[in-house]
C-alpha cells in the first residue's frame, strides 16, 4: 500500500468511527501534512481518493467536508424465496424484454447496458479502425480455441486487482459473459442436477439453467451482504446441490458487494459440500471502493471456482468479449466452448487487448465509476421524490442497477404494460426468480445520462405505481 492509500484508509476509518462527523470540515491539507509527516501532494492524493469513494466532498475555497448521508431510505429486507428446487419459468418475460432491443424510440429504463456516450470510449474506435487497416489475413482465420493470447495476457494483468494470480493459459475467451456462464454451467452440471442461486438472480443465469434442464434452488439474499450462508448451508444439507452461482461484486440486481469474510465462508462451504462455484464478476470493476473488491476466485486454491466476466458492462456489450477462468474444469469448458461457438471474433478481442494495454481501459473505468456514482445519488433521490411512501430501494455499492420493492399489491407486469404505452420499458421483477416471485419488484438502470426524459419517466412511473396501489385499495374496500 502506498503512503497516500495508507493515509486515505486512516481517514476513512476516522470518518466511519464518527471522529469526523457528517458535514464537518476536515483538517486542511497543510495541517494533515504536518500531522502525518508526509508531503502536501500525498495528502492531496489521499483526499482525491476519498472523494472518489464519495466519503468526502470538496467545497471551493473552503476545503473538504465529510459527505452527509443523504439517502436514508428503507432497504429491501432479506428475501424469502421458495425453499425447494424448482424448474425455471419466465422465458416469455425475458424474450419480451429482448425483443425491445432494437425498438426505435423506446426509453429502455430497465436494460442492463452501460453508458456508451462517454469520451473515454473514443480511443476504442481508433483502435478498431487501425486494426482493420492492417488487413492481417490471420484475423479472418479461425481463432485459437482459447482466444487471442494478447487479450488473455491483459485479462491476467487486470485480474491482479481483484487478488487473482491467473496465467493466460488458464483463461478462455468467450462471446460475452453469457457464453462464459453457459459453458461453465455445462461443465459442472448434468440435466436434472440442482444449482443454488441468489434470490433475486440475474435472468441470464436463470434461463441458462432452464435451457440445460437444471433445477434451481433460490437462496434468501440480503440486499447489503448477499446470499445467506446459513440458508445455503441448510439447503446443501438437504439437497444434492452441484454448484452455486453467485454475483458477489456489485450484484445484479441488488447491487451489494459481499463482505470479504463472507466470500471466504462461502468458499469453505463449497469445499465442505464439494460443490463448484460459478462466480459472475461482470460488474466487479465498477465498484465505488478502491482498490476494487476481491473475487471468491482469489481465495481458491483448488480450482473449484469458475470465474466468469466480460467487458460488456464496463466497456461495450457489442464487442462480445467475455472470458472464463475455469480452474479444474478447463477441459470440459474447452469442449463446451468448441461445441457452442467454436471460436470468437479476433478483431474485437485485439481491440480490447490494445485498449487495456495502452491504459485507456483504466481511464475509462475511473470515469465510468464516477459517472455512475453521481447518477446513483440523483436517480435515487428522484425515485424517492416521485414514488409513493413505503417503497424500498437498494443502495448499490457499484454498477448501475437499482432494485425497487413496491407494496405487494403492485404487479410490475401490469406496470410494464402501462409504461410501454408511453414508450418506456422497465425490467419486471419476476424475471429474476425461477418461480415468478418478485412480481412487486422492478429493476432500473440508473447509469445512462440523467436527463429531463429520465425525470419525466420516473415521475410517470411513480404516478402509475400510485394508481396501482389505489386500485388495489378500492378493490379491497369493495370486498
Binding site for its own copies (CB under 8 A): 91, 94-95, 98-99, 101-102, 111, 113, 116-117, 121, 124-125, 128-129, 132-133, 135, 137, 139-145, 149, 175-176, 178-179, 182, 186, 190-191, 204, 207-208, 210-213, 316-320, 331, 334-336, 338-348
How far CA 474 is from CA of 391, 406, 470, in Å, comes to 20, 18, 6
Task: Give the shortest CB-172-to-its own copies separation in angstroms.
Answer: 12
The H-or-E segment that residue 8 falls in is helix 3-16
* 310 versus 325: smaller Cβ distance to its own copies: 310
N residues, the chain:
479
Task: Give the shortest CB-355-to-its own copies separation in angstroms.
Answer: 12
* 91 versus 290: smaller Cβ distance to its own copies: 91
* 204 versus 399: smaller Cβ distance to its own copies: 204
Cell of 197: 442461486
Cell of 397: 455499492
How far CA 191 is from CA of 61, 204, 210, 242, in Å, comes to 64, 17, 9, 11
Report the distance separating Cα 65 and Cα 52, nearest Å: 13
Query: Phi-psi region for residue 56, left (φ > 0), alpha (ψ -120 to 50) or beta?
Result: beta
Task: Give the shortest CB-436-to-its own copies separation in angstroms.
Answer: 17
Report the distance separating Cα 411 and Cα 341, nearest Å: 39
Q: Phi and psi dihedrals of 222, rounded to 5?
A: -95, 140
How far CA 219 is from CA of 196, 236, 252, 330, in Å, comes to 7, 11, 15, 28
* 187 versus 468: smaller Cβ distance to its own copies: 187
Task: Give the shortest CB-38-to-its own copies separation in angstroms.
Answer: 42
* 120 versus 271: smaller Cβ distance to its own copies: 120
**Mutual orientation of helices 203-211 and 176-188 as an angle, nearest 10°?**
40
Task: Give the shortest CB-178-to-its own copies separation in angstroms.
Answer: 4
* 28 versus 100: smaller Cβ distance to its own copies: 100
Task: Give the shortest CB-290-to-its own copies separation in angstroms.
Answer: 26
Task: Give the shortest CB-175-to-its own copies separation in angstroms.
Answer: 4
Report the distance separating Cα 104 and Cα 127, nearest Å: 29
Report the distance separating Cα 460 and Cα 387, nearest Å: 9
Report the distance separating Cα 404 and Cα 407, nearest Å: 10
Task: Give the shortest CB-379-to-its own copies separation in angstroms.
Answer: 20
Task: Give the shortest CB-472-to-its own copies separation in angstroms.
Answer: 33
The H-or-E segment that residue 66 falls in is strand 63-66
* 42 versus 184: smaller Cβ distance to its own copies: 184
* 204 versus 220: smaller Cβ distance to its own copies: 204
* 11 versus 128: smaller Cβ distance to its own copies: 128
Peptide bond into 291 cis (omega under 30): yes
Report the distance separating Cα 14 and Cα 308, nearest Å: 36
* 88 versus 305: smaller Cβ distance to its own copies: 88
Report the distance separating Cα 245 and Cα 217, nearest Å: 11
Task: Give the shortest CB-197-to-its own copies separation in angstroms.
Answer: 15
User: What torsion do the CA atoms of 228, 229, 230, 235 make, to the nearest 10 degrees?
Assistant: 90
Amino acid at each position: 500500500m502506498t503512503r497516500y492509500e495508507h493515509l486515505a484508509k486512516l481517514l476513512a476509518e476516522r470518518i466511519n468511527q464518527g471522529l469526523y462527523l457528517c458535514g464537518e470540515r476536515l483538517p486542511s491539507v497543510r495541517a494533515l501534512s504536518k500531522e502525518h509527516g508526509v508531503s502536501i501532494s500525498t495528502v492531496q492524493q489521499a483526499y482525491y481518493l476519498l472523494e472518489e469513494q464519495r466519503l468526502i466532498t470538496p467545497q471551493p475555497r473552503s476545503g473538504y467536508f465529510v459527505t452527509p448521508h443523504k439517502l436514508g431510505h428503507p432497504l429491501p429486507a432479506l428475501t424469502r424465496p421458495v425453499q425447494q428446487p424448482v424448474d425455471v419459468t419466465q422465458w416469455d418475460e425475458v424474450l419480451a424484454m429482448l425483443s425491445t432491443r432494437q425498438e426505435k424510440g423506446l426509453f429502455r429504463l430497465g436494460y442492463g447496458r452501460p453508458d456508451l456516450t462517454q469520451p473515454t470510449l473514443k480511443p476504442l474506435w481508433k483502435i478498431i479502425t487501425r486494426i482493420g487497416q492492417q488487413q492481417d489475413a490471420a484475423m479472418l482465420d479461425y481463432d485459437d480455441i482459447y482466444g487471442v493470447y494478447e487479450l488473455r495476457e491483459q485479462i491476467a494483468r487486470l485480474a491482479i486487482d481483484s487478488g487473482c494470480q491467473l496465467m493466460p493459459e488458464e483463461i478462455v475467451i468467450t462471446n460475452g459473459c453469457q457464453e462464459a456462464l453457459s459453458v461453465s454451467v455445462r461443465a459442472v452440471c448434468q440435466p436434472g442436477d440442482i444449482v443454488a442461486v441468489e434470490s433475486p438472480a440475474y435472468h441470464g443465469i436463470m434461463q441458462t439453467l432452464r435451457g440445460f434442464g437444471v433445477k434451481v434452488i433460490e437462496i434468501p439474499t440480503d440486499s447489503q451482504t448477499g446470499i445467506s450462508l446459513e440458508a445455503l448451508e441448510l439447503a446443501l444439507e438437504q439437497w444434492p446441490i452441484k454448484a452455486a452461482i453467485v454475483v458477489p461484486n456489485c450484484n445484479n440486481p441488488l447491487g451489494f458487494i459481499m463482505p470479504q469474510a463472507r466470500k471466504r465462508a462461502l468458499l469453505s462451504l463449497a469445499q465442505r459440500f464439494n460443490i463448484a462455484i460459478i462466480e459472475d464478476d461482470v460488474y466487479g470493476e465498477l465498484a465505488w471502493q478502491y482498490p476494487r473488491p476481491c473475487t471468491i476466485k482469489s481465495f481458491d486454491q483448488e480450482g473449484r471456482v469458475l470465474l466468469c466476466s466480460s467487458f460488456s458492462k464496463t466497456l461495450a456489450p457489442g464487442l462480445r468479449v467475455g472470458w472464463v477462468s475455469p480452474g479444474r474444469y478447463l477441459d470440459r469448458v474447452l469442449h463446451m466452448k468448441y461445441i457452442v461457438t467454436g471460436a470468437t471474433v479476433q478483431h474485437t478481442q485485439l481491440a480490447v487487448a490494445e485498449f487495456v494495454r495502452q491504459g485507456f481501459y483504466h481511464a475509462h473505468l475511473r470515469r465510468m465509476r464516477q459517472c455512475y456514482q453521481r447518477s446513483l445519488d440523483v436517480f435515487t433521490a428522484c425515485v424517492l421524490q416521485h414514488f409513493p411512501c413505503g417503497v424500498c430501494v437498494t443502495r448499490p455499492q457499484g454498477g448501475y442497477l437499482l432494485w425497487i420493492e413496491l407494496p405487494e399489491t403492485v404487479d410490475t407486469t401490469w406496470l410494464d404494460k402501462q409504461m410501454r404505452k408511453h414508450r418506456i420499458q422497465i425490467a419486471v421483477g419476476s424475471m429474476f426468480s425461477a418461480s415468478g416471485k418478485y412480481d412487486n419488484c422492478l429493476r432500473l438502470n440508473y447509469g445512462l445520462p440523467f436527463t429531463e426524459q429520465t425525470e419525466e419517466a420516473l415521475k410517470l412511473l411513480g404516478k402509475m405505481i400510485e394508481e396501482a396501489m389505489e386500485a388495489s385499495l378500492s378493490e379491497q374496500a369493495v370486498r
